[in-house]
Amino acid sequence: MIRRSKGAIKGIVQGVGFRPFIYQLAHRYQLSGHVVNTPEGVDLEVEGPDENVEHFFQSVLSESPPLAHISSMERADLRPRNDKFFEIQESRADQERSALISPDVSICSDCLRELRDSKDRRFRYPFINCTNCGPRYTIIMDIPYDRAMTTMKKFKMCKACQREYEDPTNRRFHAQPNACWDCGPRLSLHDHDGHPIDRDTPVEKTIHLLKRGSILAIKGLGGFHLAVDATNHKAVVRLRRRKHREEKPLAIMVRDLEAAKEIAHINEIEATSLLSPQRPILILKKRRFHRLSPQVAPRNQIATLGSCFPTRPSTIC
């Protein structure tokens, strides 16, 4: 028997690869219909053999993408309409706004691999992202979560990015901040008056300035990080003086888990937590010998350090 059902799904279902997920499920179960972002979440309709529709809805709940969180799903049956295809429709923005927005998510392992691959077209591209990672909350100006409603709207995707964006089998299908060296935002380095210093090699120049003991403001997800070389005692003292921050512990940025282990003891649970998509700052037991300035966490009686996560700033507390 042919059946048509609609589902209204609420929760964190925008900006987390939910529509591509639904699209792929509909194909797996050979269903027609559509899915659309709404100001409240995601609405979908599917049509096909009774049993397939049932399996589809079970899979929606049991296989949803890692960053999605379904808080409710209402289902109802409709009269079959004999659609030929399954499609992702344009978002609707005509109702009350109550969809939940995903937080920003740390870089995923697939993107990290591309970032480090000299043959990849996004080799060392600092704004690399995909459906499973990247900025969300920071770039959203309004919902539904579509590129036109984000700060990325002024960057028109190049042909290669557009192809990924439109390909349901690509992991960047409908990834709203999708970008590359050819079409996306670039890094630049400015002096304290806002004048550009370096547009060609800003990362190298920043490293050079940090090594010299300068204080840098690095604009990233959620705001600015004030950064100094944590092993440079004078630089840390100067940062504290300028911030009028006498003893509150400072966060530490490290390259990876191995680098974090050189300054703190890290057990398995802590390691798993540090590497989770949220990349939290942890308070860890510091090693007796490390190269950091004591001013990173002064007058700390219980010998702990806030910690460090790969590819994102972190802390010593």
Q: At what angle do helices 18-28 and 50-62 cross, to 10 degrees?
A: 150
CB-based contacts of 262, cutoff 8 Å, min separation 6: 287, 290
Judged by the rule CB under 5 A, the positions of this chain that interact with Zn ion are 108, 111, 130, 132-133, 158, 161, 180, 182-183
Closest separation in Å from C-beta 17 to Zn ion: 10
By C-beta, is 183 or 226 nearer to Zn ion? 183
Q: Identify how many contiguous H helices and E strands the chain contains and give both numbers.
A: 8, 12
By C-beta, is 130 or 227 nearer to Zn ion? 130
Closest separation in Å from C-beta 242 to Zn ion: 35
By C-beta, is 7 or 20 nearer to Zn ion? 20
Query: Taking the CA of residue 266 as centre, how many other CA atoms within 13 Å lie in the half-sphere pointing to its CB?
Result: 22
By C-beta, is 91 or 132 nearer to Zn ion? 132
Closest separation in Å from C-beta 157 to Zn ion: 6
Contact 137, 51 (CB under 8 A): no
| Interior/surface letters 239-256, b for 16+ CB within 10 angstroms, e for the rest | bbeeeeeeeebbbbbbee
- Phi and psi dihedrals of 270, rounded to 5? -65, -40
By C-beta, is 66 or 294 nearer to Zn ion? 66
Closest separation in Å from C-beta 149 to Zn ion: 20
C-alpha gyration radius of the chain: 23
Closest separation in Å from C-beta 203 to Zn ion: 20
Closest separation in Å from C-beta 48 to Zn ion: 32
Q: What is the dihedral of CA 114, 117, 121, 125, to 10 degrees?
A: 70
By C-beta, is 56 or 145 nearer to Zn ion? 145
Cα–Cα nearest to 21, from 44, 47, 53, 54: 44
